[in-house]
Structure 1
Amino acid sequence: MERELISKKELLDSMGISYGQLYRWKRKQLIPEEWFIRKSTFTGQETFFPKDLILTRIDKILNMKDDLSLDQVAGRLSPSLPDYDARKSDLMKRNIVTSVTMQRFAGEDPDQTVYPFEKILFFYVVDKLLQAGDMSMEEGDRLMETMRDHFPKFEGKPCELIFIRKMGVSSFALVSVPSEWHFDGGVRIVARLSMTECIEQLKGILG
C-alpha cells in the first residue's frame, strides 16, 4: 500500500507555515529526516512528505510551541523511549491499561512488579487494539511476541505496526517509516498504528 504524499509547497500553503519554520523544526529534530522525500517531477527534483504523518506532526508542533521551547517539544515528539517505569498496580489503578488486558498478558506478575516504559508501551498498544474490537486475545499474544522480538531493532527510529488478516488468518509486522508495502487483493488491513504516535500518547498519559 503506497502512502499518500504531499508536496512541500502544498504543505506550507495548507498549514500556513514558512520554509524557514519547516527547516528549523527539521534541525531541531521535531520532524524526522526520513520524512523529507526527494522525488523527480516534470519540473525537476521536489520534496514530498508522508501526508498523514506530517500534517499530524505539524499540528502538534503548532499546538505546543507557544507553551514549550522547541527543545521541550522535540523531547515530547521523539520516538526514543524515556527512562520511566511504573508498577503493575499503578497501570491498572490509573486505567492506563485495562485490568482485562493486564490479567491476560501480565496475570502471573505480582501487583508490585515494575515495568520499564517499553513494556508499558507493548501493553498499551495491545490494549488499544483490544478495546477497538480489532483483535482477539490470541492475536494479542502474537502481537506481544512480535513487539518484544522486533521493536528493539528500530533503536528509537520511527516505525509503524501493520496488522493484516486474510481468510481469517492474521499477521503483524513492524516497518520503517516512511515505507511502501503492497498486498494481494485478499488481504485486509485491520489496523495501522504509528508507534511514534503511541509513544507520544503514552508519554502524555504518564505525565
Structure 2
Amino acid sequence: MEPNLISKKELLDEKGISYGQLYRWKRKQLIPEEWFIRKSTFTGQETFFPRDLILPRIDKIMNGKDDLSLDELADQLSPVLPQYELRKMDFAKRNIVSRVVVETFAADDADSVVYSFEKLLYLFVVDKLLQAGEMSLEEGERLLQTLKQFFPKFEGKPCDLIFIRKMGVSSFVLSSSTADIYFETGVKLIARLSMAECVEQLKGKLA
C-alpha cells in the first residue's frame, strides 16, 4: 500500500469508529467524496483515504460533535465559501490580517468598500505566508493574482496552495488536495497550505 494512504479498515481500527459512522459523516459531507479512493488489491476492491487529510478530519469531527450538530460541523468544515460580506473599515479594525497586508494589498480601496469572503480569504492566505517569514511582498502580490485567477476553478472542491522556489525564483501552484506532486531536483517546497483549512480558520475569525 502507498505510504500516504490508509485503508478503511486501518482507519476504523485506529480511530475506534464504526463503518456506519464513517458513511454517515460522508453523507453529511463532513468527509469529501474524493477522499474515498477505490483501489484493486489481492483481496479485491478496497477503499483507501489520504492519510494526512483523513486523520485530522476525523479528530475534528470527534472533538466537535458534542458541541455542534453534524450539519453545523459540515458548514464549518466545508471548503465551499459562505455568503459573507465585510466592509474594509471593519476588516482592518478586527485585525483579521496584519496592517501591512491591508496597507499594501488593499490601499486603493476606500474604507466603505465591501469585501466578499473570497477576497478576505485571499488576503488571509497572503498574510499567513508573510507572517511566517516565508514570502516577500512582491511574491505576495503574485500570490494574490494566482488565487484570483485559479482558485475559483475548483468550485468548492478541496485544493492546496503549493509555494516552491528554485535558485531564488518562486512559483505558486494550486492543486487538488489528494494529488501527489513531485518536483525536479533543486526545487525547495516552501509551503503547502490546505485552502479548506484556511477557509475554516477564516470562518472562525469572522464568527
The reply to whether TM is greater than 0.5 is yes
Distance 1:200 1:186 in 2: 33
Gaps of 5+ in 1: none
The residue aligned with 1:201 is 201
The residue aligned with 1:186 is 186
Conserved? CA contact 1:162–1:172, under 8 Å: yes
TM (normalized to structure 1)? Answer: 0.96
The residue aligned with 1:81 is 81
The residue aligned with 1:115 is 115
Instruction: Tell me which amino acid in the other structure corresponds to 2:37.
Output: I
Residue-by-residue CA offset, 1:95-154 (whole Å, 9 max, x unaligned): 101110111101111122210000000000000000001101010011000000011111
Deviation at 1:3, TM superposition (A): 7.7
TM (normalized to structure 2)? Answer: 0.96
Residue-by-residue CA offset, 1:25-65 (whole Å, 9 max, x unaligned): 00111100000111222332221111111111111111111
The residue aligned with 2:150 is 150
Give the SS at the match of 2:183.
coil
Gaps of 5+ in 2: none
Residue-by-residue CA offset, 1:134-190 (whole Å, 9 max, x unaligned): 101010011000000011111111111011111111000111121111111211110
* Cα distance change of structure 1 residues 3 and 99 upon mapping to structure 2, 3 Å threshold: farther
The residue aligned with 2:137 is 137
Asked if 1:50 is matched to 2:41, the reply is: no
The residue aligned with 2:12 is 12
Conserved? CA contact 1:38–1:48, under 8 Å: yes
Distance 1:164 1:188 in 2: 6
- The higher relative CO (CA closer than 8 Å, separation ≥ 6) is in 1
The residue aligned with 1:36 is 36
Deviation at 1:7, TM superposition (A): 1.3
Asked if 1:106 is matched to 2:90, the reply is: no
* Cα distance change of structure 1 residues 203 and 3 upon mapping to structure 2, 3 Å threshold: farther
Give the SS at the match of 1:143.
helix
Instruction: Tell me which amino acid in the other structure corresponds to 2:187.
Output: V
> Percent identity between the aligned chains?
70
The farther-off stretch of 20-29 and 41-50 is 41-50
Instruction: Tell me which amino acid in the other structure corresponds to 1:187.
Output: V
Asked if 1:168 is matched to 2:161, the reply is: no
